[in-house]
Amino acid sequence: MDVLIYLIPISIFLGGVGLIGFLYTLRSRQYDDPEGDAQRILTGEWDDRPKPD
């Protein structure tokens, strides 16, 4: 069972990565307009910020 010594920290670390990823999406306001984002993906226009000049 020694393998647990590695596996448990690894699993917690991976979970933590997921959590941080989620917090990042939250901070970068990706949940502000769920309906709009669902529609925008259908258009071929550049829709990222900042727009390239």
Partner 1 sequence: MTHAPISACPACNAAPMAQNLADTDHMAGHILLNVPTVHCAVCISSIEKTLNTIDGVKEARVNLTLRRATIDTTRPIDVQVFIQALDQIGYPAHELDASLLGQSAMEQAARRLLTRLAVSGFAMMNVMLLSIAVWSGAEGITRDMFHWISALIAVPATLYAAYPFFANAWGALRGRVLNMDVPISLAILLALGTSIYETSLSGEHAYFDAAISLTFFLLAGRYLDHRTRSIARSAAQELSALEVTKAVIRKDGQDTTVPISQVQVGDTVILRPGARMPLDGVVIQGQSEIDRSILTGETRPEFVTIGSELRAGEVNLTGPLELRATAVGQDTSLAKISQLVAIAESGRSKYTSIADKAAQLYAPGVHILSALSFVGWYLYSQDLRMALNIAAAVLIITCPCALGLAVPAVTTAVSGRLFKKGLLIKSATAIERLAQVDTVVFDKTGTLTDGNLTLIDLPAATAEQLQISHALARASAHPLAQAMAAALSEQGVAEIRLDQVQEHPGYGVSALYGGQQVRMGRAEWVGATARDHTATWVQIDGEILEFAFADQMRGGAADLIADLQQAGIDVQILSGDGLAPVSRVAAALGVTAYRANQTPESKAAHITQLQAQGRHVLMIGDGLNDTAALTSAHVSISPATALDAARVASDVVFLGQRLDSLIGVIALSKTAQRRIRENFQLASLYNVLAVPIAIAGFATPLIAALAMSLSSITVTLNALRMK
Shortest separation between residue 52's beta carbon and partner 1, angstroms: 14
Nearer to partner 1, 1 or 52 (CB): 1
Distance, in Å, from the CA atom of 21 to the CA atom of 27, rounded to the nearest integer, reads 10
**Which spans of this chain sit near partner 1 (rule: CB under 8 A)?**
1, 4, 8, 11-12, 15-16, 18-19, 22-23, 26, 31-36, 39-40, 42-43, 45, 49
Residue whose CB is less far from partner 1, 32 or 52? 32
Specify the 3-state DSSP secondary structure of 3.
coil
Cβ proximity of 46 and 52 under 8 Å: yes
